[in-house]
Amino acid sequence: MNVARFSRIGFILAAAGSAVGLGNIWKFPYMTGESGGGAFVLIYLLTITFIGLSLFIAEVIMGKASRNDAVSTFEELAPRNKGLWKYAGFMIFTGMLILSFYLIVIGWILKYVFLSFTTLPSSGDAAGALFGGMISSDAFTQFAFFNLAFFITIWIVTRGIKKGIERVNLILMPILILILVALFFYAMSLDGFGKALEFLFLPNWDKIDATIILKAVGHAFFTLSLGMGTIMTYAASLPKEANIAKASASVAILDTAIALIAGVVIFSFMFNAGQNPAGGPGLVFISLPTVFASFGSLGNIFAISFFVALAFAGITSAVSIIEPTVLYMTSRFKYSRFKALLILGTITYILGVMALFSNVKDYASYLTFGGKGFFDILDFTSSSILLPLGGIIISIFVGFVMQKERVYSLLKESMSKNVFNLWYYCVKYLTPVAILIVMINKIFY
């Protein structure tokens, strides 16, 4: 199949753009805050190294070997039962479910970018009322910013691999990094900086239990954008001479570094203002705006910078989520890119609107099924079932279905035999078992 090719740096930034999303700047800090800090971070880093990176390399191998869409990749690389293995490509549709509610959250962030130019809430009660009111009552504002996020994302993807996805990542990812680094250097001047470093990097083992460990393992898996064919699809456009291990490690390091920098920045501001780091999911939308408000006019600059960075992270992830399904439809059914996006965009838009209104109290009862709102159903189905199932299937396919000699032939230029054997053990045994445990925990507990 003739596909547009990423440059090496384009692949790294696009894959990092997919991985670096709201999970890094929103979810990682609040999960760290809830989970006691340093011990959670240490477990997270170990999991990234031995589970996340192992599976990331497995996805890259599959995409680079086949140069095709995810469904065709399973068919082509399976030595037998090709007709059965093509159904493993179901994971490409997971992205549509995720994108439908992910765009709602990006819409919230875009709203806060505009809010940052005005008067920020100065108390936790005011910030909570503002955020809660927007979600539960202000359907018009949510709908307007959801549409803005939707059309920005679809427009970028219509431009294709080179002119759209690669170009936007070449622009937005460096700007995102510059904003976070600038905030990091300012945070160094705050009294809370030392406390933030201590909180993040000195483990408090008394805080750790089985639940915290499973949270760290689960987040390390999800943060690298694994289990939905995105990395596999991007790897299909990787240059032939690219070093798989180095490219994969570069993405994992960049993804992790941004999460840690965001954590240091956020907790420096929090500790400097004397606030509790365990702010939960409202950390970014409720606790942080009140901290910025305490800085006066300078706080508006901080708020604008932070929420623009968060918006960029969300958009670079959003454009990657739908690409596997677009590639499948254009390569398998010969649809034009515009037609494929028209179909997929319509489905995503309808699901997104339903999810958005399921949070609005006037409409929630019409969009609640089995005691769960439609937003929560999409979130639970994708993050607790489909994504981990996709990760397990990729591990099993590379570890047990593909011939070991072929896998090694794809990696022998990237790693020594001993390193390969360690990686192969991780992807064959450790990774699927760890993901299965996390999956069971998320579904039943």
Convert the pLDDT of each residue in 129-154 to its tens digit: 999 999 999 999 999 999 999 999 99
Query: What's the pTM value of the predicted model, to 2 decimals?
Result: 0.88
Q: How confident is the model at residue 168 (pLDDT cuts 50, 70, 90)?
A: confident
Cβ 426 vs Cβ 54: under 8 Å: yes
Mean per-residue pLDDT, 61-72: 89
Q: How confident is the model at residue 78 (pLDDT cuts 50, 70, 90)?
A: very high
Cβ 157 vs Cβ 164: under 8 Å: yes
CB-based burial label for 321 (10 Å; 0-12, 13-18, 19+): buried
Residue 24 has pLDDT above 50, yes or no: yes
Q: How confident is the model at residue 8 (pLDDT cuts 50, 70, 90)?
A: low
Dihedral sign for Cα atoms in the order 194, 196, 201, 204? positive
| 221-225, 278-282, 392-396: the lowest-pLDDT one | 278-282
The span from the CA of 314 to the CA of 150, in Å, is 12
CB-based burial label for 404 (10 Å; 0-12, 13-18, 19+): middle
pLDDT of residue 17: 67
- Listed in sequence order, the residues at least 6 apart from 9 whose beta carbon sits closer than 8 Å to its beta carbon are 170
Q: How confident is the model at residue 114 (pLDDT cuts 50, 70, 90)?
A: very high
- Asked if residue 410 is part of any domain, the answer here is yes
pLDDT of residue 395: 95
Mean per-residue pLDDT, 419-423: 95
Mean per-residue pLDDT, 184-196: 92
The span from the CA of 77 to the CA of 355, in Å, is 37
Which tens digit of pLDDT belongs to each residue from 251-287?
889 889 988 998 899 889 888 888 777 666 677 888 8
If one compares 278 and 185, the residue with the highest pLDDT of the two is 185
- Asked if residue 353 is part of any domain, the answer here is yes
First vs last Cα of the chain: how many Å apart? 44
| 16-25, 34-43, 386-395, 408-417: the lowest-pLDDT one | 16-25
Cβ 200 vs Cβ 31: under 8 Å: no
Mean per-residue pLDDT, 341-358: 96
- Asked if residue 334 is part of any domain, the answer here is yes
Mean per-residue pLDDT, 191-216: 85
Dihedral sign for Cα atoms in the order 243, 246, 247, 249? positive
Local structure of residue 373 (DSSP, 8 states)? E
Work out the angle between the directed axes of helices 94-115 and 297-321 (0-180°, nearest 10).
Answer: 160
Cβ 48 vs Cβ 267: under 8 Å: no
pLDDT of residue 90: 85
pLDDT of residue 365: 94
Which tens digit of pLDDT belongs to each residue from 155-166?
888 876 656 666
- Asked if residue 221 is part of any domain, the answer here is yes
- Asked if residue 415 is part of any domain, the answer here is yes
Q: How confident is the model at residue 7 (pLDDT cuts 50, 70, 90)?
A: low
What percent of the chain has a predicted confidence (pLDDT) above 90?
40
If one compares 366 and 28, the residue with the highest pLDDT of the two is 366
Q: How confident is the model at residue 2 (pLDDT cuts 50, 70, 90)?
A: very low
pLDDT of residue 13: 64
- Asked if residue 1 is part of any domain, the answer here is no
Cβ 89 vs Cβ 229: under 8 Å: yes
- Asked if residue 196 is part of any domain, the answer here is yes
Q: Which residues constitute the domain of residue 76?
A: 8-444
φ and ψ at residue 404, rounded to 5 degrees: -60, -35
Mean per-residue pLDDT, 222-245: 83
Average pLDDT, the chain: 87
The span from the CA of 101 to the CA of 354, in Å, is 9
Domain count, the chain: 1
Residue 66: give its domain's CATH number: 1.10.4160
Which tens digit of pLDDT belongs to each residue from 366-391?
999 989 999 999 988 988 899 899 99
Residue 32 has pLDDT above 50, yes or no: yes
| Number of other residues whose CB lies within 10 A of the CB of residue 112 | 25
Which tens digit of pLDDT belongs to each residue from 292-306?
898 889 999 999 998
Grouping H, G, I as helix, E, B as strand and the rest as coil, residue 372 is: strand
φ and ψ at residue 227, rounded to 5 degrees: 85, 5
Beta-sheet pairing, 372-373 with 368-369? antiparallel
Residue 1 has pLDDT above 50, yes or no: no
Residue 241 has pLDDT above 70, yes or no: yes
Q: What share of the chain is helix, strand, coil (3-state, %, to 5)?
A: 80, 0, 20
- Asked if residue 206 is part of any domain, the answer here is yes
φ and ψ at residue 369, rounded to 5 degrees: -130, 125
